[in-house]
Amino acid sequence: MNANTSLATPAIHDPVRRLLATSLLGLLFCAGSAAACVEYGINRDLVLDKMYDTYPETDRAQFDKKMASRSFMGCPEKRDVPVFMTLDMPGLTYEGEVTYKGQTYPAYAAAPDAPLVMFYHHVAHSEDGPLRNGQEVPGLFEMGGGATEAAIQYWAVVFSRGGRMRTPPPMVGTITMRAPSLPSIDTQTVVQLDLKFPAATCPLQDKAETLQDVQTAELSVPGSTAKEKLVAIRMDCGAEAPRARMTLSDAGDASNTGSQLTPTADSDAEGVRVQLLRGGAEVQFGQTWDFDPGAGGVHDHQFTARYIRTNDALVPGTIKGEAVLNVDYW
């Protein structure tokens, strides 16, 4: 009986081992069929950072373009995959349509006198399609099988305004692509356009003014003022229309945010200072304002200077102050 038992043991365990081996091979086969596309390449983001010396005077003439590409290999099979693309560019305004290669596309701008930009997607052997800001648009991705390359391109094309253009704020956003049937090609491309143009600058003429002498009786109490006088700083812009951000500051104290100038070192009067006004209101040193006259020529920036009594006792003498007008063109 013992001999028969020992002979029967292999017959019980061999089928179990073969069954386990068969199951393992089946699992390996299933795993091998789940291959996914692998992205490669370095030109993945759409970045255009450039200073232009000139531009076409013709309205809506193309003068620059830039491309980004998302490329893949190792895709499981050759077929067309439906994809959905969204251009998200905050700060851009729709400006109408432009024509490019016989097709019309939506054009956008970051400022009223900035260049126009349009975006489109391109896949080999397929019709180009527009990318519309804030909208998801459909497309087909031509997927190669195995070692065959597959790529989708995103283009930004820049058009003129038909006249002088200015540097707009940087345009930053993304292009997102999703493929519900092939998530391995879901991507997000960074878009960054920084288009710069020479600014129109204007010479400024320094201006020195002397206020009339003031009597003690005219500044009898703290806060009283006297001897107002107009002070105009002239800007000669020629034929170019300037656009600038301007700041008035106290030359004697850069941290001064009031309207009274710090006395110069050679001032000896006390209890009085020089105060500046703009448009009838006290200035606030360090505060900025925009200057955009829309035309060239001569422009006068007018201020009013006057004496103002402080809380200190009055001491006769000379009081001087200096202000600096900083002009940042763009």
pLDDT confidence bin for 40, thresholds 50/70/90: confident
Tell me the C-alpha to C-alpha distance, in Å, between residue 150 and each of 81, 136, 185: 11, 22, 10
| Pairing status of strand 272-278 against strand 281-282 | antiparallel
| CATH number for 290 | 2.60.40.1090
Q: From the CA atom positions of the chain, what is the Rg in Å? A: 36
| 163 and 271 assigned to the same domain | no
| 235 and 189 assigned to the same domain | no
Residue 129: predicted pLDDT: 95
Specify the number of domains making up the chain.
2
| 68 and 177 assigned to the same domain | yes
| pLDDT cut 90: percent of the chain above it | 69
At 291-313, the pLDDT tens digits run 999 899 999 999 999 999 999 99
Query: Of 262, 288, 257, which Cα lies nearest the Cα of 274?
Result: 262
CA dist 88 and 135 (Å) reads 8
CA dist 102 and 62 (Å) reads 13
Residue 147: predicted pLDDT: 64
Residue 149: predicted pLDDT: 77
| 276 and 304 assigned to the same domain | yes
What is 220-277 written as a DSSP string? -STT-EEEEEEEEEEEE-TTSPP-EEEEEEETT-TT--SSBPPPPTT---BSEEEEEE
In a domain, 2, yes or no: no
| 277 and 161 assigned to the same domain | no
At 111-124, the pLDDT tens digits run 988 999 999 999 87
In a domain, 23, yes or no: no
pLDDT reading at 213 higher than 80: yes
In a domain, 27, yes or no: no
**Residue 93 pairs with which residues in a beta bridge?**
109
Contact 277, 303 (CB under 8 A): yes
| 183 and 225 assigned to the same domain | no
Contacts of 36 by beta carbon, 8 Å cutoff, 6+ apart: 74, 75, 76, 182, 184
Instruction: Out of 166, 196, 226, pick the residue that ends a domain.
Output: 196
Instruction: Out of 167, 196, 225, pick the residue that ends a domain.
Output: 196
In a domain, 29, yes or no: no
Residue 30: predicted pLDDT: 34
| CATH number for 111 | 2.60.40
In a domain, 24, yes or no: no
| 85 and 221 assigned to the same domain | no
| 46 and 181 assigned to the same domain | yes
In a domain, 256, yes or no: yes
Amino acid at 192: Q
Residue 117: predicted pLDDT: 98
Contact 312, 259 (CB under 8 A): no
In a domain, 16, yes or no: no
CA dist 229 and 211 (Å) reads 7
| pLDDT cut 70: percent of the chain above it | 88
| 264 and 164 assigned to the same domain | no
| 43 and 192 assigned to the same domain | yes
Range of 268's domain? 216-329
Total Cβ atoms within 10 A of residue 242: 22
Question: Region 211-223: what's the mean pLDDT?
Answer: 94
In a domain, 77, yes or no: yes
Question: Region 56-83: what's the mean pLDDT?
Answer: 91
Question: Region 84-97: what's the mean pLDDT?
Answer: 97
Residue pointed to by tokens 């009339």: 212
At 121-180, the pLDDT tens digits run 998 777 899 999 999 999 988 887 666 778 899 999 999 998 888 899 999 999 999 999
